[in-house]
Chain A
């Protein structure tokens, strides 16, 4: 229930902040699915066009899976309270993403819905056991 409450809190924050549109659309992603990735950050790149995060995770069978997850551009991420120090290698994270349609371990921060992946701040982000709040 804590988990759901956290989700709901993240959602309520997003209602008053408009979705972040940026240069790249969502055609690559399955915006009907929310995937929760749990793992260890291996890299965090503060770059254009989009900031991205590399995460070593495990699938349900315990096999290693390396996820590459994009956010929006640094300016848009600044607007939702991210900085170059939001993540660092070694952080244990739980993040919500929408996954690539082709099944490869690529994703975009966001949750399923009409503006999936265009609203980074809708994602649940937990870093080292603490929910991320700017």
Chain B
């Protein structure tokens, strides 16, 4: 083993040389049988039966494959995966406005620019390909939100005012427009229960025919009613969201007038598409799509969803160690 030095000025040069070598060698080595737990089927990670903390398959394992059976009528129940970092993560913020963006070199399937935001980002949306149709109030609210996430508007964690940095609830619809990983849908006689892995969020979607409240007290996840518009399409309307939550990871704002429509369209037995429409006339001059026919894939019924929670004590420790301690030495000009 070559002796390895600790951080000094020479490391940077060494890392550059290593990077070049790595790039050169990667092509030849990519097909070596390097063990990778992610590529294993959910039940077979590590070569043994895996009953707990299952990992969803990579999107490539099922993309383009036809389901063996048609969709059941008026049934959403099951555990649905959004392929997390293969598509469900919108770290630069919701990207679908005004519709699905055309394919472009450098953009991944999930729509984010390759590597975007890794270096820190811009503080407004000038130059973003499809800026949202902000009202003046919406634009001012956007600029007041300072995200620490790896998106185009990123600031160092210590300078951020992202509610998530204090373990505040993510709220709806940010739980769908940021790290969409795995959700479970449960149908009862008069409800659809929506269980979201990310920070353990659940919502009740009433299907008993009740109307949405007219002047509700704010709730982080709002008030939801749903109905079948055909045998395979379930439409959910949600109002009454607390305006302290953000819409997405880029700090897009919303007011308490926000209305969200979710359209769950079951394509076949294993596949569902989710379209999310954001309508908030206070902040945006027209409705826009947060997700547009976003694919969800049915997981095996014995899939054990790992836990992903936010502990305020752990978060405070994290902020102390990494946020505040790692403040820039001199403010950026």
A residues in contact (CB < 8 Å) with B = 1-5, 7-9, 11-13, 15-29, 31-38, 45, 47-50, 52, 57-60, 65, 68, 70, 73-75, 78-81, 94, 99-104, 106, 111-118, 126, 129, 133-134
Contact = CB atoms under 8 A, between A and B. Distances in A.
Interface of B: 1-2, 4-8, 11-12, 14-16, 18-19, 21-23, 25-26, 29-30, 32, 34-39, 53, 55, 85-86, 89, 91, 114-115, 117-121, 147-151, 154-158, 164, 179, 181, 197, 306-311, 314-315, 317-318, 321-323, 325-329
29 contacts: A3-B2, A3-B4, A8-B26, A8-B29, A15-B26, A24-B148, A24-B157, A25-B118, A25-B149, A25-B151, A27-B157, A28-B326, A34-B11, A35-B7, A35-B11, A36-B5, A47-B311, A52-B318, A52-B322, A59-B6, A60-B6, A65-B6, A94-B4, A104-B326, A106-B325, A111-B15, A113-B115, A115-B115, A116-B118
A17 B7 CA distance: 28
A12 B321 contact: no
A78 B53 contact: yes
A19 B89 CA distance: 11
Q: Which 7 A-B pairs have the closest CB atoms?
A: A114-B115, A25-B150, A34-B15, A8-B25, A12-B29, A27-B120, A102-B329
A3 to B, nearest CB: 4
A73 B308 contact: yes
Given A58-B6, A101-B328, A49 B314 contact: yes
A83 to B, nearest CB: 10
Nearest to A112: B15
Contacts of A45: 317
Nearest to A57: B6
A16 B21 CA distance: 18
Contact of B34 (A12, A58, A79): A12
A116 B18 CA distance: 14
B322 A70 contact: yes
A33 B326 contact: no
Contacts of B25: 5, 8, 11-12
Contact of A13 (B34, B147, B307, B322): B34
A36 B6 contact: yes
Contact of A101 (B115, B148, B197, B329): B329
Given A2-B2, A81-B37, A20 B85 contact: yes
B149 A23 contact: yes
